[in-house]
A and B are shown apart, each in its own frame.
Chain A
Amino acid sequence: MSTLHTVNKSAFERNSLDSCLSVVKADASVLLIEDAVVCALKNTSICDSIEKAAESGIKFFALREDLKARGLSEQRILDQITLVDYSGFVDLVTQNDRVQNWL
């Protein structure tokens, strides 16, 4: 019984990702969409929290279309994060038992 968490706000200005990571279970998936894709970048002030959570088993995804919109190339994305497109988003929803949207 797993949960998909989606985050759509930048962690540089909102605490949505922090709140998400504070309650997320080790078997959960976290999908970064919209402005939250900026959290997926390497060498940032917030990447430690994602790297630490990924170590504990949480799976991270980011929406490719939102990265492309913002000119953020795949090479800039943390190795722990898998890129998905909109159909991959749908797959994640169907593979999990519920979706928690951290709006």
Chain B
Amino acid sequence: MSNTKTFVYINRKSPYGSVYALESLEVVLIAAAFEQDVKLVFMDDGVFQLTKNQDPADIGMKNFSKTYAALGDYDVNQIYVDEDSLKARGLTLDDLQPLVYEDEDDDWAEKDSITLVNREQLSDVIESADVLLNF
């Protein structure tokens, strides 16, 4: 376990207009395969990455938003969404796809992966990182 580090990924871009969101997701899945402690932050336009009902077929792109639902199976279950960013964009938690994981320490009970955070809590998430990756 001494080789485990905390990786915090900070996602601040809207999906599809640039490749950041998709690239972040790919790197997260790779890091998860190495059994590291992974935390994801969605703030600023990054909150649009998690909206429900995405359908980019008509702009000729792949719908990678469905992959977020698989993160729980890779033990990526610490997902922090900045509440101020949602509010500034007229969004609420209900507009985001529900992300869950099964807690092996609690008889595999299904639990929410998403935690809404304020800027102070976000600051603590950043301070908890050994490695920070920004997209």
Contact = CB atoms under 8 A, between A and B. Distances in A.
Contacts of B58: 65, 68-69
Contact of A13 (B16, B45, B65): B45
A65 B17 CA distance: 12
Contact of A71 (B18, B45, B61, B65): B65
What's the dominant secondary structure at chain A's contact region?
A: loop
Nearest to B16: A69
B126 to A, nearest CB: 19
B16 A71 contact: no
Given A70-B54, A71-B53, A76 B90 contact: yes
A76 B52 CA distance: 13
Interface residues of A, number: 23
Contacts of B52: 71
B14 A69 contact: no
Contacts of A9: 17
A34 B17 contact: yes
Of A12, A42, A66, chain B has the most CB atoms within 10 Å of the CB of A12
Nearest to A42: B90
B88 interface: yes
Contacts of B59: 65-66, 69
A69 B90 contact: no
B15 A38 contact: no
Contact of B45 (A8, A12, A42, A45): A12
Nearest to A73: B53
A41 interface: yes
Contacts of A65: 58-59
Of B15, B16, B44, B89, chain A has the most CB atoms within 10 Å of the CB of B89
Which 4 pairs from chain A and chain B are nearest by CB? A35-B17, A69-B56, A43-B90, A71-B51
Given A10-B17, A68-B58, A72-B51, 6 more contacts: A13-B13, A34-B16, A45-B89, A66-B59, A68-B55, A71-B51
Interface of A: 8-10, 12-13, 34-35, 38, 41-45, 47, 65-66, 68-73, 76
